[in-house]
Structure 1
């Protein structure tokens, strides 16, 4: 695709919310990026336009067959007023992997990254500066062909929208209570669990409601075949520190390859903390707890970065981890990652990309 990026600026700016009232995904900036695809033309007309609603035919395939994917990443304002992206190329690589799984044509990752930078520069005044805040970035693709035949769409839209978001932990990082799900499953090997597609999240809502009704913040997913191996926690990857070693489920085709997950693994190795990717059963977690060697547990993801787990409920048995407090390794990872993301700490990995 050789089309030049077209820019149409808004002639009316929206009022910006207060930093202490941002929440997550409630407010959106003045502009958005859009690009279209048709099968005989490819991706075309990349443009930045005023933020607006979109109009779709009622038979658009996204509504009927769920052919859609998305990503999530963030931009951070540093103390010296620079703007940093955290590993954006990794997110765009994964976007194309999701595209492949959902039979969506790939996008030019370099072009999309450059367009994203331009979009952020145009709306840079929306990037909040308070500690813990950031600009959340949501690229997504939807199938737009108006056809009820069960086949891949021949038409698509790629869009990127921006949302200023507040600190995930308004009062500091606190461990959460997790309910181990033993009825519903999130995904199975060979399915779409390794893709970031809307259906994966819709399928988790029922279990989330059950867990919430029992007073738990999220669910720990087990595998969909034997219902015994740990996979993810809520919409995050999960880690356990057992007898000095950090263990995370190996990628097996049903687990999302999280950018934060990969960053944590690299950072643990950098810090000389033993880390291994392998299958881990809920029985092994229970046994480690019974033997007093389950030292920490935490989830990893873009929104929270590190979400410590203070309690697991497995078949109505409570496992209180580290007395319900954040562990030393989880705290260190949180401090290191957020320090790199916001430019407070050196970035020995070359993860951050400055928008300029």
Structure 2
């Protein structure tokens, strides 16, 4: 039998992966609440459990600066203690032959230090509780340039910590997404109005980070149809993200990968992706067609839909998240068609090892004589 595409090698940046199952970025709130450093013994064990030889892991979203507005309990990559703690994580993953990228973010108006493209607050309640969102301050051009440099420094710090690259978070209603989307961006300067202007900050951040650490260590994530944090309110989705993809393919064709979220995914619920109900108006195919390099898609994939996607799209990798939480040996389970363990949503964001380090590896059911 021929090898399924999901388990065929693919080049990502400087590295050849042995399979195309990617551990998606997953916020878990297992960082020191005072320093923002990941709890090194626990977090390194968590990622080591899920690492595979020739497999790619993308970390939880990690703050680029103290002003990025990240919730208490999520990690950062802007001080020496954080860098040292992350070094323990990358060492553990690399010992198993794995590849690990850090997802870096600024929350903008969704964070505790609300700034944004415009002074428009998120109207919907916080998905994690804590009441209404505050009205953000519209960033000045100098503020935009300062945050761009914070992305650059965070990327340099990630490389110092041993990461193989960084994934810039430009989705889910966080700062860069707040510039892309016209429902939020009401600026009248060079960062607002036209598609080109609204995408300007994203392109500047990518260019600056890639210049600092290399295109092949730089990646980016988008969520074109997500309504998380009041996004996607009548946006010209295909046109906007086609423009972004086309620009990246022209100016940065050697990025490690582009990472897109499918349309039918709810971050806070357990809706499942139904490929049979695919609507061509919200397909990722227009973006796949415009990008010449590795393309990661995420969207509550399960084993069969992951196999199907890899077969349909030659350069596609599949990011799997929630099932990776409860199945540290997920790659082996998918490869061997073993049953998956269910996850417990109640422990996704709780501190401590419960629901974090205690999910079992697969054990065959004893056969009765």
Indicate whether the TM-score tops 0.5. no
Question: Shorter-chain-normalised TM-score: which range?
Answer: under 0.3
Larger fraction in helix: 2
- Compare CA radii of gyration and give the structure with the larger one: 1
Higher strand share: 1
Give the structure-1-normalised TM-score: 0.26
